[in-house]
Amino acid sequence: MKQPGNEPQMNTDHPWFDPSLGTRERVDTLVGAMTLREKIAQMLHEAPPIPRLGVPAYNWWNECLHGVARAGQATVFPQAIGMAATFDAPLVFRVFDAIADEARAKHHQAAKQGNRKIYFGLTYWTPNINLFRDPRWGRGQETYGEDPYLTARLAVAACTAMQGDDPKHLKLVATPKHFAVHSGPEPLRHTFDAVVSERDLRETYLPHFKAAVQEGKAASVMGAYNRTLGEPCCGSRRLLQTILREEWGFEGYVVSDCWAIKDFHMHHKVTKTREESVALAVRNGCDLNCGDAYGALLDAVKEGLVTEAEIDVSVKRLFEARMRLGLFDPEEKVPYAAIPPSVVRCPKHLDLALETARKSIVLLKNDGVLPLSRNLNVIGVVGPNADNKTAMLANYHGFSPNVVTVADGILDRLSVGSEMTTGTGCHLYRDEPVLEGAHRFRVRPRTDAIVAVLGNTTELEGEEGGVALSDGGGDRVRIGLPGRQRELLEALHAQGKPIVLVVLSGSPIDLSDVAPYCNAILYAWYPGEQGGNAVADVIFGDCNPSGRLPVTLVRSLDQLPPFEDYAMAGRTYRFMTEAPQYRFGFGLSYTRFAYANLALDVPGRAAAGPQAVMQPTDTVEVGVEVSNAGERDGDEVVQLYVSDVEASVPVPRLHLEGFARVSLKAGETRRLTFTLKPEQLVCYRDDGTPFLEPGDFRISVGGGQPDDPASGAVSALLTLVSEA
């Protein structure tokens, strides 16, 4: 059969190309026909073709954190941290379903052109579900925030959407990463040992990975660069074998982070040679090597460090994934192969990108200045991020020919009788004069309002080695506004005009000394190609802001333990005792919401009410009435928190265990119901063993954390008793 492009002609007259056979039979037959050298070559991310067996080349490395990345045109959705701010798992599912459609269309078109290179495959190293435990981490933007429950729900949505619902074929392969206990510091990731207690490991660092594997059915997992409790994560028997495969029943393949295997001997010093490193990784369950270290497996076999039978296990896992993707089936047998190229950046996906960006924007402050009228005489739009396309994107992004900046969006929505003035006002990060020279911006007497667009870009935060301007090797060493941005805000405030601050950033910024100079603050993250339209829609009231913080905004770094400390004490809303500036789950609206009639119902027991008793085998239905008590339609993010008030072991102060986004017309009331399962009430012994302890639990439901007066939260008491 003639192949397109410059590919060698392949003979597909082999049993592994027969879709009527079982997957395992096809895989066993194919791997059995391969030489040891051929098997080893297939364990590298850039797997070469095997013409004699009809096996085409395949590159395993692909990225899609917020759209297909690095592979030409694709819809650029808000970065993952922005998706997390929507608190909307069904929306995240729709986003990744769209991403998977574009990935499939791009793959098949590229294959027709003979392009089997990097970023055009079907195995995606997404989602990043590490916890954003410290605001300094440059890659926190790639995550779903600081909470294990929120991360788990969004991870499951992403994985199930990416992999599709066809009973025989995967749409894509989802790869939750980086397993496990990984979140900076970036410059230390090749040498660092993340030391955690067994309680923190099981209570905080693993639950969302477990959900992605067991509920999301992720077909792949990526290991982390660092060590965890002494073992390099990409060669950890405990992580990859005991926990992942034996405890959780994972049957997919594990891929190393890129060039992580060489760290074993070069930096972690747990092995002495390349051969020892690759043997350790394969024996302990790392099947695929991003990099070239596995080229040493042939010598490792000769030295008796690993056997061909152990290599076969990994190779079979890899080819099972390729078979499930339909890469050895006729295209007419693979439903996803029919997705047309026209789906890429189609109107439906652009609308979805806009919807996601709108729902991600968090209103942190509003003294009544918002929403603005479209019929202003003059509006000033100023700041280094005001007309900065880079600030709309994030790391691992795709390419759009029509990125809409904040200035673009505002101008497009202004009355034709209005005027907009623009300027940078200051440099993003350099110590250059404010409102002078290249940054000149004049506030006119007729100016009605100023929108200051400040914050970060991926020039200042991101991955180690990829952010040349970061003081922390990708991380931030300071979490205030960069450069002289605060000075710019002070100078604008001195003009006596209403000021709306729009923050573009992938991470929390300390706004404690900034808020007094603003009438309103919008946190818009890195909102993607439609971000400017979304910000403008919120500013002018076409969209009621409804995003909620997926991370805590601390007052200063003094509120946090050292970055290198992976203990959870004092970190995130679950364990912080000091009041931050803005709480996890916080966000304002242009309307008001009220909560009433919280009731707990344990089926088969007493009638529902503000108190309930349950046994360890019961589930609890939590019902609450939510009302839009204002004059505007809007979305509320209803949040359920659990507090164990009688625990005999250390437990989180409170923890999120349910959330739902609900759209309510002005004056509308709706009753929502959440289900609490016994496993959501467990605490952990010192050895990490979960157990249910009799006692009282406070169940709180509101528009934020129960200790935030603005949340309107109502509470009920749940008592867990031992079975009679």
Q: Is 292 an annotated catalytic residue?
A: no
What spatial distance separates the first Cα and last Cα of the chain, rounded to whole Å? 71
Tokens of 572: 């995130």
Helix (H, G, I), strand (E, B) or coil at 688: coil
Strand partners, 626: 595, 670
Distance CA 366, CA 346 (A): 35
Residues 6+ away with beta carbon under 8 Å from 410: 379, 381, 420, 451, 532, 535, 536, 539
Helix (H, G, I), strand (E, B) or coil at 97: helix
Q: Is 257 an annotated catalytic residue?
A: yes
Residue type, 656: L
Distance CA 578, CA 264 (A): 39
Residue type, 67: G
Q: Are strands 378-382 and 419-423 parallel, antiparallel or unpaired?
A: parallel
| 151 contacts 145 by C-beta, under 8 angstroms | yes
Give ∠ CA 116-117-120 in degrees, rounded to 5. Answer: 75
Tokens of 663: 């759209």
Please state, in angstroms and as integers, the Cα–Cα distance from residue 178 to each residue in 83, 130, 142, 378, 660, following that order.
19, 6, 11, 48, 27
Cα radius of gyration (the chain): 26
The torsion angle over the Cα atoms of residues 484, 488, 493 and 494, rounded to 10 degrees, is 100
Across 495-570, the runs of DSSP E, i.e. the strands, are: 499-504, 520-523
Across 535-654, the runs of DSSP E, i.e. the strands, are: 593-601, 611-614, 620-628, 634-644
Tokens of 657: 């265990």
Give ∠ CA 422-389-457 in degrees, rounded to 5. Answer: 100
| 494 contacts 47 by C-beta, under 8 angstroms | no
| 142 contacts 395 by C-beta, under 8 angstroms | yes
In Å, the largest CA–CA distance within the chain is 81
Distance CA 656, CA 154 (A): 13
Instruction: Report which of 257, 32, 244, 295 is spatially closest to residue 128, judged by C-alpha positions.
Output: 257
**Which of 134, 257, 287, 635 is labelled catalytic?**
257
Please state, in angstroms and as integers, the Cα–Cα distance from residue 643 to each residue in 49, 362, 672, 695, following that order.
56, 26, 20, 11
Q: Residue 425: is it exposed, middle or buried by C-beta count within 10 angstroms (0-12/13-18/19+)?
A: buried
Q: How far is C-alpha 210 from the chain's CA centre?
A: 16
Handedness of CA 240, 241, 243, 248 (dihedral sign): positive
| 321 contacts 123 by C-beta, under 8 angstroms | yes
Neighbours of 64 (CB within 10 A): 27
Residues 6+ away with beta carbon under 8 Å from 164: 100, 170, 171, 172, 336
Helix (H, G, I), strand (E, B) or coil at 669: strand
Distance CA 358, CA 362 (A): 9
| 552 contacts 523 by C-beta, under 8 angstroms | no
**Which of 461, 464, 475, 510 is labelled catalytic?**
461
* Residue whose entry in the numeric block shows the structure tokens 């911006």: 441
| 106 contacts 74 by C-beta, under 8 angstroms | yes
Give ∠ CA 108-112-117 in degrees, rounded to 5. Answer: 75
Q: Write out the catalytic residue numbers.
A: 257, 461
